[in-house]
Amino acid sequence: MAASNGLGSFAATYATLVLVVCMVMVCSYATVPPLTLDYYSSSCPTVFDVIRKEMECAVSSDPRNAALIVRLHFHDCFVQGCDGSVLLDDTVMLQGEKTASPNVNSLIGFEIVDRIKSKIESDCPGIVSCADILTVAARDAVILVGGPYWDVPLGRNDSRTASYDLANSNIPTGDEGLTSIISKFLYQGLSITDMVALSGSHTIGMARCENYRARIYGDYESTSAGTNDPTTKPRLNTLRSGCPAAGGGNDNIAPMDYRTPDMFDNSYFQILINGEGLLSSDQELYTSILAVQTRSLVRTYAEDAAAFFEQFAESMVRMGNITNSDSFVNGEVRKNCRFINT
């Protein structure tokens, strides 16, 4: 009897242990809370106003600042999720992402984030993550140059890590083929539709000669040959004179949307139909022999700005929701976006 009681209590203890382990496992998965629209409504009610005001100053002093912030957000989210990792400076203890090949000499605008962060820290210290600031600032950037509004889910933590290697491998480059770029979006849980709509960000901002030299001395002439636009050839000549075939001038810049470089509109897609995309990766969306679905999306967005805006807003939310589950457990709200807290 005593023996059977002993066995019974062992079984009960074992069952309890298994239950506790299971609950801990379930709980640790369940600890990743969903992002919410009212995350800072009581802890930092001024957050949206502060970001909006700083972005208004930045964009009115130079409209390209809108593009810089949108791209920073993209490069943040594609590496460990949207966790502010792209904002970290290199230190002796941490290798950041800023010198990875898609970013080095190319990503700029960090001081805009610094300015917003320091204003927010004086209003509500230690409350608002850099990752959230960047996400809201990107939304405001788009609005300020004429693009759509969307609600931004919030509650991201900042990472205490960065990944130089993932920055090199996850972020698509301007000379990359269509299927490879598609696979990088699918890997992040984003669709081909998301990829084409989000590429519409290239309706603002500039590219450096280094990233379009091969294109303007390569197939630009043939892809744009069918257009009746008499300005196409002179435009190509101007691009070439600013970006010599023999090298040099790598950092000379040209707008990806030559028609309305500072306006968020759908003319980028019309330019692709004209065969005048500046980056090879952009033109591939329309011209590649593999571009069946992407070509039809380019046509849709070129004809229908409202359809582009609607999809862009939805895809930005989806991109902003790429999470870093590690940061929910081990992350923090950085005091300074460039450094992890000590």
201 binds ligand HEM (CB under 6 A): yes
Q: 28, 8, 10: which is closest to 20 by C-alpha? A: 28
**Minimum CB distance to ligand HEM smaller for 163 or for 283:** 283
**Candidate residues 205, 277, 320, 331; the one interacting with ligand HEM per rule CB under 6 A:** 205
Paired tokens of 164: 């130089």
**Minimum CB distance to ligand HEM smaller for 40 or for 318:** 318
**Minimum CB distance to ligand HEM smaller for 40 or for 98:** 98
CA dihedral 308, 281, 205, 192 (to 10 degrees): 30
Q: Which of residues 67-86 bind ligand HEM (CB under 6 A)?
A: 67-68, 70-71, 74
313 binds ligand HEM (CB under 6 A): no
**Minimum CB distance to ligand HEM smaller for 181 or for 298:** 181
Q: Tell me the closest approach of the beta carbon of residue 208 to ligand HEM, in angstroms.
A: 3
Q: Tell me the closest approach of the beta carbon of residue 315 to ligand HEM, in angstroms.
A: 8
174 binds ligand HEM (CB under 6 A): yes
Q: Tell me the closest approach of the beta carbon of residue 298 to ligand HEM, in angstroms.
A: 12
Give the catalytic positions in this structure.
75
**Minimum CB distance to ligand HEM smaller for 88 or for 279:** 279
281 binds ligand HEM (CB under 6 A): yes
47 binds ligand HEM (CB under 6 A): no
**Residue 65: exposure state from Cβ atoms within 10 A (0-12, 13-18, ≥19):** buried
199 binds ligand HEM (CB under 6 A): yes
Q: Tell me the closest approach of the beta carbon of residue 39 to ligand HEM, in angstroms.
A: 22
**Minimum CB distance to ligand HEM smaller for 40 or for 212:** 212
Closest residue to ligand HEM in the complex (CB): 205
Interacting span for ligand HEM (CB under 6 A) from 122-130, 203-211, 302-310, 330-338: 203-211
254 binds ligand HEM (CB under 6 A): no
The three-state DSSP-derived secondary structure of the chain is CHHHHHHHHHHHHHHHHHHHHHHHHHHHHHCCCCCECCCCCCCCCCHHHHHHHHHHHHHHHCCHHHHHHHHHHHHHHCCCCCCCHHHCCCCCCCCCCCCCCCCCCCCCCHHHHHHHHHHHHHHCCCCCCHHHHHHHHHHHHHHHCCCCCCCCCECCCECCCCCHHHHHHHCCCCCCCHHHHHHHHHHCCCCHHHHHHHHHHHHCCEEEHHHHHHHHCCCHHHHCCCCCCCCHHHHHHHHHHCCCCCCCCCCCEEECCCCCCCCCCCHHHHHHHCCCCCCHHHHHHHHCCCCHHHHHHHHHHHHCHHHHHHHHHHHHHHHHCCCCHHHHHHCECCCECCECCC
338 binds ligand HEM (CB under 6 A): no
* 57 CB-near residues (< 8 Å, 6+ apart): none
Q: Tell me the closest approach of the beta carbon of residue 313 to ligand HEM, in angstroms.
A: 12
**Minimum CB distance to ligand HEM smaller for 46 or for 321:** 321
113 binds ligand HEM (CB under 6 A): no
Q: List residues binding ligand HEM (CB under 6 A).
A: 64, 67-68, 70-71, 74, 106, 172-174, 176, 181, 195, 198-199, 201-202, 204-208, 211, 279, 281
